[in-house]
Amino acid sequence: MSDINVSYFKSIIEQDRSPIVICNLQHEIIYMNPAAVKRYEKRGGKNLIGQNLLDCHNEESKEKVKQVVDWFAASSENNLVYTFYNETENKDVYMSALREEGKLIGYYEKHEFRNRETMKFYDMTWCV
């Protein structure tokens, strides 16, 4: 796996239409894909990179984030937590552990929309 160019992974994340925010173990936002930058534009967008994620949350949410990260750290088997359902946008939000050779190095937040795709199968005219 180490032979695979990191650019492939970065391209996958950057093409994702759902917001992805990556944090290190100090809760510092180290990456936001373009969908996340757009999603959090009113809160600073790209300027949030380098900021502490906990500063964007209320006290209850801060505690939950810390609890999840502690749970990730407790076992390499602990890697995914369903954190929220947004009824207005019909989406689920998850926190996922990021590991390097089994060691916890950070986490990310991923939004997954439940809405059925409206694009037609193999329709390539939408991007013209």
Rounded to whole angstroms, the Cα distance separating 87 from 69 reads: 25
Report the length, in residues, of the chain.
128
Q: What is the pLDDT tens value at each position of the chain, 128 positions in all? A: 556 788 999 999 999 999 999 999 999 999 999 999 999 999 999 999 999 999 989 999 999 999 999 999 999 999 999 999 999 999 999 999 999 999 999 999 999 998 888 888 888 776 65
Rounded to whole angstroms, the Cα distance separating 42 from 122 reads: 34
What ranges do the domains of the chain cover? 6-127
Residues 95, 78 contacting (CB under 8 angstroms): no
Question: 14: closest CA among 36, 45, 29?
Answer: 36
Pick the CATH number of 6-127 from 3.30.450.20, 3.90.1010.10, 2.40.70.10, 3.40.50.300: 3.30.450.20
User: What are 105's two structure tokens?
Assistant: 């190095």
7-25-46 Cα angle (round to 5)? 55
Q: What is the pTM of this model?
A: 0.86
